[in-house]
Chain A
């Protein structure tokens, strides 16, 4: 158990819909990262937050948005969903934002868009 909690674990929805994925980082971790893993592909970096502030953006679509709340949990919002958005979405956390340490991953949220 990494200590990172992601909900829901599985989600099936239809094209055009909107979903919210939630992540609770490990206790004490200030940084949260979101990654997208399409079927048998690598991890695409979406966005990073550190102590409530957005620090870096990757290949995140305009239809996607995220935020980190004062209690440090984070939410990834996906809207106007398309078939190609079907993927495993990982949240990861780390102690600080200096990128020296281990990323602790949640078990992922598997999104299926029909």
Chain B
């Protein structure tokens, strides 16, 4: 069975600082994709970044980047120059056989 684990229920960071959110996963799939989704207070789920597991290069989207360690099954999200609008719940997810599995989330609060 696929599992996605986020071990940090809550984190906080000062505005303009950098923060890293952790995620580990377990899958028997040979080809899969990994995702970070953001859920702000509005509850809308928004894709932050996506990583194709067969690609060694870490994905980057503006201030968001990942550290993908395939052997360790680790997929962390780094947010640089944190902004107040980054305050949200962040979910790590992995694709598997006909479904996407989500972690339990990390609540991130950016402090002014």
Chain A positions within 8 Å of B, measured between CB atoms, are 2, 33, 35, 41-43, 45, 48, 50, 55-56, 58, 88, 90, 92, 97, 99-103, 105, 107-108
Contact = CB atoms under 8 A, between A and B. Distances in A.
Contacts of B52: 100
Given A42-B104, A107-B44, A99 B98 contact: yes
Given A42-B103, A103-B93, 15 more contacts: A2-B44, A42-B104, A43-B91, A43-B102, A45-B101, A48-B99, A58-B99, A90-B45, A92-B45, A99-B32, A99-B95, A99-B97, A102-B50, A107-B44, A108-B44
Contacts of A100: 33, 52, 95
Contact of A42 (B32, B46, B102): B102
The range of chain B's interface size is 20 to 34
Interface of B: 32-33, 35, 37, 42-47, 50, 52, 91, 93, 95-105
B99 A105 contact: no
A99 B97 CA distance: 8
A105 B45 contact: yes
A100 B96 CA distance: 9
Give the secondary structure class of B's interface: strand
B63 to A, nearest CB: 19
Contact of A103 (B47, B97, B98): B47
Contacts of A35: 102
Given A102-B50, A105-B44, A107-B43, A45 B103 contact: no
A99 B33 CA distance: 7
Given A88-B43, A105-B45, A45 B33 contact: no
Given A90-B45, A102-B47, A107-B43, A45 B99 contact: yes
A45 B91 contact: no
Contacts of B103: 42
Given A99-B33, A100-B33, A105-B45, A42 B91 contact: yes
